Every structure is written in C-alpha cells, then in structure tokens.
C-alpha cells in the first residue's frame, strides 16, 4: 500500500470539474487524484462569487483527511467566516420511512421558487456514498437537484460522528459565504447524529409519520424534547384523519413538556410531501420561530452557544482520544473494565489507576 503523498498519480494533478465524482479521500488507500490543489484565496474568491464548482471543490477539501488538504481547507474556512452566518439553519430528522427526502424535495422546491438559495447537507456517520444512503442518491431529489438555486451535498462519508459533524458544520460556513440563505441539515433519526445536528442549527424539526400505531416507534428517546417543532407527514389519502388526530395528541403531549430555553412553544403541523400540501405551514412555523427568537435575543444566544460548544467539544474529544486511542492503553482499559464488571474493583479506583498508568508511564 502506497501513501497517496508518494503516489505519482497524486502528483500528476489532473483537473477534473466533476468534483462530485471524485473518489473519497482515504490517506491509507492508493488512489488517483485528478485535481490540483489551488491556493485558499482562489477557492474563497470563487465561493464569494457563488461559483458552485469552487464551492464543491472546497467542501471536498473540508471532507478530506489528507493533512495537505486540511491546511488549505482551514484557511478557506477562516477567510469565509466573515461572510458566513446570514442564513436560516434548519435541522430535519425522522426515522427511515418518514419521508425526509420527499419532504426536503417539496420544501426545497417551494423555497427555490421563492428565490431562496438552498443548501442541503447531511450528517450520517454510517453513510458511504456508494451505498446510496442518506442523500447519497440524488435521484431521490430529482426536481431539487436540477434547480439552479439548490446545492445538495451528501453526508461526509463514514467516520466518527465528531469528524462527520465537524465537516458538516464547516461546510455550512462555506455555503453561507457562497450566498446560500437557507441551510438544511438532514439526519437519520437514529444514533447520536441528532445531538450533533441540533448543535449546529437554528430550528430542529422532527418529521413524523402516523398510522403505524406506535407514533414514535424507532425515534430515540430524547429527540422529541429536542424538537422545536414537529411535522406530521403523509397526511394524505386515507391517512388524513389519523394524521390530524396525531397532531392533537402531540399538541397535548408537548403542552406537558417543560418550557423551552427559548420561550418558544413547539407544536405540530400536518403535511403531505407527496401531495405538496401543508409544506408552507411547516415553513411558516420555522419563520415564526426565527422571528420570535430574533426578537427575544435567543437566536444569537443559541448561535454563540453553538460556537462555544463546538470549540469545547473539539477540545474534549481531542483530549479523550489521546487516552482511548493510545495503543498502550487499550488492553489495560479492557482489563480494568472486566474487573469493574466482575465487581472486583470499584469504578473509581479503576479509573484512577488507569489515569495513573497513562500519566506516569505512557504519556
């Protein structure tokens, strides 16, 4: 296996404008890279002009794990930062089958007709583009993907949640600098990607379907309390009555919830992404929320908290990875964990002995 840095194909540097078709950058694989690395300023210049090709290329750098790409990517982000922030960031989650793609297609088409510039991103740590998972298959968003004003980008490919989320958050900055005024971040409704998405959007929408009996089957506990609003999709055909009953149920349930930090009272709307009905009611909910939180200051407060959150989150995972990914610690951690599970040693004594081993002998 050759390192790509030493690969002649890598150094050959052929320009390829079909950026989306580039292979995933994997520093441990031999691959042919068909793109020159431009100076950061050139990407930024293109991005600020709204050049989709340059934007795509820069996002590819953000997603790359190659150190040389990352240096340019970080520079691009830094230069874009002053132009970022002027968008509505909308997170959308829901279990597979809730109709997220159809909903985003319907909502996105409406927004583009209203002259908004829309970027659709995703967080799915389990995704591999080739496997047609979340947003991976653009054909699921036929209409939207051919719309001039829409920029659709699949989830950064498989990796740690932290890594995937960081890439998505940085991509938001680039999209905003490129003039996209509405950013949708889609997640899969399972695992921890919701927390990550929630921590980078202004409004977090839970997309529900009804008619299955167990209304929230499959949605992780805690997600409902994270939602700023609920859209009950598939309110069409024989399902209308059930969807409207679900709306009432959710209304009652949400009223029992403790008040939100923003002061906003989350509620539910019905819609049918298939029939394109009710979509604008959902969007009105988002706009009302934005107006409400801009008026009471929570909008900026949340954005600031999120920026802080990501700084500390990155510091913390870096500190913890140093310990857990240290090859000399791995076996020792397993040994102690077994002793804790067998009640041979208290959790706290085990922890302190492991930390001692780390600081004294290894670090």
Please state the closest distance from residue 306 (CB atom) to its own copies, in A.
Answer: 8
> Binders of its own copies among 54-83, rule CB under 8 A?
74, 77-78, 81-82
List the one residue out of 197, 154, 193 whose CA is nearest residue 306: 197
Give the one residue of 105, 170, 186, 194 binding its own copies; rule: CB under 8 A.
170
Crossing angle for the helix pair 100-113 and 279-296, to the nearest 10 degrees: 70
Tell me whether residue 127 or residue 168 sits nearer to its own copies (CB atom).
168
Give the one residue of 8, 18, 312, 360 binding its own copies; rule: CB under 8 A.
312
Q: What is the maximum alpha-carbon separation in the chain?
A: 67
Q: Is 191 in the site for its own copies (CB under 8 A)?
A: no
- Report d(CA 173, CA 80) in Å as an integer: 7
- Report d(CA 311, CA 151) in Å as an integer: 27
- The SS3 of residue 273 is coil
Site string for its own copies, 32-51 (x = CB under 8 A): --------------------
- Report d(CA 152, CA 141) in Å as an integer: 9
Q: Is 335 in the site for its own copies (CB under 8 A)?
A: no
Listed in sequence order, the residues at least 6 apart from 31 whose beta carbon sits closer than 8 Å to its beta carbon are 4, 7, 9, 10, 23, 25
Q: Which stretch binds its own copies (CB under 8 A): 130-138, 269-277, 278-286, 312-320?
A: 312-320
Tell me whether residue 28 or residue 348 sits nearer to its own copies (CB atom).
348
Binding site for its own copies (CB under 8 A): 74, 77-78, 81-82, 84-85, 166, 169-170, 173, 214-225, 249-250, 252-253, 256-260, 304, 307-316, 318-320, 322-323, 336-337, 340-341, 343-352, 354-355, 363
């Amino acid at each position: 296996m050759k390192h790509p840095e030493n690969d002649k194909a890598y150094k050959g540097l052929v320009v390829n404008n079909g950026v989306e078709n580039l292979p995933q950058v994997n520093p441990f694989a031999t691959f042919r890279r068909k793109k020159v690395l431009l100076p950061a300023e050139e990407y930024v210049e293109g991005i600020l002009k709204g050049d989709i090709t340059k934007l795509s290329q820069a996002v590819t750098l953000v997603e790359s794990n190659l150190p040389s790409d990352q240096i340019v990517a970080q520079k691009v982000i830094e230069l874009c930062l002053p132009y970022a922030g002027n968008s509505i960031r909308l997170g959308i989650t829901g279990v597979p089958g809730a109709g997220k793609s159809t909903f985003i297609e319907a909502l996105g088409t409406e927004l583009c007709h209203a002259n908004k510039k829309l970027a659709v991103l995703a967080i799915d740590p389990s995704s591999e583009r080739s496997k047609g998972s979340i947003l991976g298959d653009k054909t699921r968003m036929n209409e939207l993907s051919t719309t001039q004003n829409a920029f659709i980008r699949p989830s950064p490919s498989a990796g740690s949640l932290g890594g995937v989320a960081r890439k998505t958050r940085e991509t938001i900055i680039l999209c905003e600098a490129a003039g996209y005024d509405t950013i949708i971040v889609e997640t899969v409704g399972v695992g921890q990607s919701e927390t990550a998405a929630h921590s980078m959007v202004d409004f977090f929408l839970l997309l529900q379907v009804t008619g299955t009996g167990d209304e929230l089957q499959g949605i992780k506990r805690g997600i409902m309390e994270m939602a700023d609003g609920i859209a009950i999709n598939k309110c069409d055909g024989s399902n209308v009555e059930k969807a409207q009953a679900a709306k009432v149920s959710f209304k009652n349930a949400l009223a029992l919830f403790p008040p939100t930090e923003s002061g906003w009272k989350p509620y539910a709307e019905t819609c049918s992404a298939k029939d394109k009905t009710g979509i604008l009611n959902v969007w009105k909910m988002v706009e009302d929320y934005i107006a409400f939180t801009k008026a009471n200051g929570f909008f900026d407060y949340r954005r600031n908290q999120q920026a802080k959150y990501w700084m500390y989150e990155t510091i913390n995972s870096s500190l913890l990875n140093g310990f857990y990914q240290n090859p000399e610690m791995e076996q020792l951690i397993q040994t102690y964990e077994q002793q804790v599970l067998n009640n041979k040693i208290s959790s706290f004594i085990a922890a302190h002995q492991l930390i001692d081993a780390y600081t004294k002998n290894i670090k």
